[in-house]
Amino acid sequence: MLYFYELMSGLKINFSKSEIILIHGDEFLNMQYADLFNCQIGSFPLKYLGAPVSPGRLHVKHWLTLVEKNEKKLATWEGSSMSIAGRVTLINSSVSSSFIYHMSMYLVPKTIVKSLGKQRRCFFWQGGGRQRKYHLVKWTTICKSKKKGGLGVKNVSK
């Protein structure tokens, strides 16, 4: 059937990059299919478009890569030399959107949401620097829409 797919679509399946994953299958059957297709045996959770996928519940440890990815992204920007408006734009366009994408598919654990929110708050107030600064306005006020007196930062903790 896969070869018919190749002929009809014009695409070629790269079996050396492919994995066999059986849901509720036994180990012997898994090995048979891996030998048949000449590919590796995979395991859950796997990543699909950057999001972890599993037939069961995902734990906090599976989401830590998202926190690390955001941390690296924030470290590359020189936020201390940006204006508040520039930081708000970066938070809304890049930082928030990456984990809102994940939250659209899964219920992300509260601890992960809190740590991602803390990263955004620290970047907003400190600009990526290590020196702690006073938070002059409550974060809930900053997350309000511009019409209601906020800065329009998306509140993801609700």
What's phi and psi for 41, nearest 5 deg? Answer: -95, 125
DSSP 63-113: HHHHHHHHHHHHHHS-GGGS-HHHHHHHIIIIIHHHHHHHHTTS---HHHH
pLDDT of residue 92: 84
pLDDT of residue 129: 64
* Residue 96, CB-side half-sphere exposure with 13 Å CA sphere: 19
pLDDT of residue 158: 64
- Successive 10-residue mean pLDDT values, the chain, 158 residues: 87 86 84 88 82 82 86 79 84 80 82 88 77 78 89 80
